[in-house]
């Protein structure tokens, strides 16, 4: 990954975009793709789209990621000035205690910590993790009146963690899910547009995936493409303690993961695999017998049925502050999808072969 593309990824990872509060990330994403687009647009809830027009009869494909992340929210302020919490999306109660956080208040960010009783004061043995609703943020004030001057109920809260360079091109950060997906959508868009393809190509950054695929349901009807690829993280299980019953062969550095089954249209799966095989781009396979758990599940039922695919970026420790990805997998995913979009007229229309 060259310096410019890495800088774009770092900027995305440095922003806070919990579901329902994606504005800063969507703005930065649009500022990147608009240089290569014939048009960009945003709907009422913030779904962002960049368009390359391929001609009147050209087939169309959307390459999408979701721009939101999990987070927390202020649900109450007690008399002593401590902030009570609720979840935004699937936040993990086992990793929130003892973390630094930022409360994104209307008048600017407010720093805090999620309190944890010192080990010396806790009963030894048999400890359990408190639900997030039972945890609190300490912003250092004297009482509830002081806290109310700084924050309001409903303000979003995100964990404050740095982007960390690991060995062999791996990165750790909060919110890889799914900044790597919108990075891939934008970069695939840039690469294919530079080849002047005979296709209309949409790059999409959706909102509110983490709370039920809401943005994809909105934008899927509006775009109505011939095919759509939802790029999201998927579980890399090449580390200790992965439950064997839920394990797979997905590993960091093995390439993006092509899902098969359920939402994943067989003809689109074969197109992506064919491009990967022909170009020597490594990819991995995953089974999705019932659902993908990604925006692909919303896209493929839009507009009477849209051929869809979930392409996964291997990710260790999902929904923690230390998600780990391999930069080579991102680069391979962008190349793979640019290759498919560039040859879309060879593959379309996508049908069931019946």
Q: Mark whether 9 and 121 lie in a shared domain.
A: no
pLDDT at 244: 65
Backbone angles phi, psi at 91, to 5 degrees: -65, 145
pLDDT at 157: 98
Is position 294 within any domain?
A: yes
Answer whether 70's CB lies under 8 Å from 210's CB: yes
Is position 12 within any domain?
A: yes
Give the CATH number, domain containing residue 242: 3.40.630.10
> Using CA atoms, how far apart are residues 346 and 212, in angstroms rounded to an integer?
34
Each residue's pLDDT tens digit, 95-124: 999 999 999 999 999 999 999 988 888 887
168 labeled part of a ligand binding site: no
251 labeled part of a ligand binding site: no
Quick one: pLDDT band at residue 245, thresholds 50, 70, 90?
A: low
Give the CATH number, domain containing residue 109: 2.40.30.40
Nearest alpha carbon to residue 209 among 45, 31, 29, 33: 45
Each residue's pLDDT tens digit, 55-78: 889 999 999 999 999 999 999 999
104 labeled part of a ligand binding site: no
Range of the domain at 123: 71-159
- The total number of structural domains that make up the chain: 2
Q: Mark whether 83 and 56 lie in a shared domain.
A: no
3-state helix, strand, coil in the chain (%, to 5): 30, 25, 40
Quick one: pLDDT band at residue 246, thresholds 50, 70, 90?
A: low
Q: Mark whether 314 and 217 lie in a shared domain.
A: yes
284-299 mean pLDDT: 95
Give the helix/strand (H/E) hosting 172. Answer: strand 170-173
> Using CA atoms, how far apart are residues 3 and 6, in angstroms rounded to an integer?
5
238 labeled part of a ligand binding site: no
Q: Mark whether 138 and 12 lie in a shared domain.
A: no
pLDDT at 353: 85
Q: Which of 127, 209, 222, 323 is catalytic?
A: 209
Each residue's pLDDT tens digit, 142-157: 999 999 999 999 999 9
245-260 mean pLDDT: 88
Say if pTM beats, i.e. exceeds, 0.85: yes
Q: Does residue 302 register a pLDDT over 90?
A: no
Q: Catalytic annotation on 209?
A: yes
């Amino acid at each position: 990954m060259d310096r410019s593309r890495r800088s774009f990824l770092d900027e995305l990872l440095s922003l806070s975009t919990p579901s329902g509060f994606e504005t800063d990330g969507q703005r930065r994403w649009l500022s990147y793709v608009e240089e290569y687009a014939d048009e960009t647009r945003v709907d009422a809830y913030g779904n962002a789209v960049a368009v390359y027009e391929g001609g009147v009869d050209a087939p169309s494909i959307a390459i999408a990621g979701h721009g939101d992340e999990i987070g927390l929210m202020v649900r109450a302020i007690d008399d002593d000035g401590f902030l009570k919490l609720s979840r935004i999306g699937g936040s993990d109660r086992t990793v929130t205690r003892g973390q630094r956080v930022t409360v994104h208040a209307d008048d600017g960010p407010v720093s805090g910590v999620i309190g944890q009783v010192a080990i010396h004061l806790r009963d030894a043995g048999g400890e359990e993790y408190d639900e997030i609703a039972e945890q609190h943020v300490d912003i250092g004030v004297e009482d509830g009146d002081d806290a109310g001057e700084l924050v309001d109920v409903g303000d979003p809260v995100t964990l404050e963690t740095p982007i960390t360079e690991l060995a062999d091109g791996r990165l750790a950060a909060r919110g890889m899910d799914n900044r790597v997906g919108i990075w891939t959508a934008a970069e695939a868009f840039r690469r294919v547009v530079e080849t002047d393809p005979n296709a209309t190509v949409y790059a999409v950054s959706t909102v509110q995936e983490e709370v039920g695929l809401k943005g994809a349901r909105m934008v899927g009807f509006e775009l109505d493409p011939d095919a759509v690829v939802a790029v999201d993280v998927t579980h890399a299980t090449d580390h200790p303690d992965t439950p064997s019953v839920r394990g797979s062969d997905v590993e960091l550095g093995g390439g993006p993961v092509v899902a098969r089954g359920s939402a994943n249209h067989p003809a689109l799966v074969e197109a992506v695999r064919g491009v990967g095989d022909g170009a020597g781009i490594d990819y991995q396979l995953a089974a999705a017998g019932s659902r993908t758990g990604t925006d692909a599940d919303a896209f493929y039922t839009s507009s009477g049925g849209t051929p869809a695919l979930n392409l996964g970026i291997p990710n260790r420790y999902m929904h923690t502050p230390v998600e780990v990805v391999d930069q080579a997998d991102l680069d391979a995913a962008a190349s793979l999808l640019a290759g498919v979009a560039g040859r879309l007229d060879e593959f379309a229309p996508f049908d069931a072969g019946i």
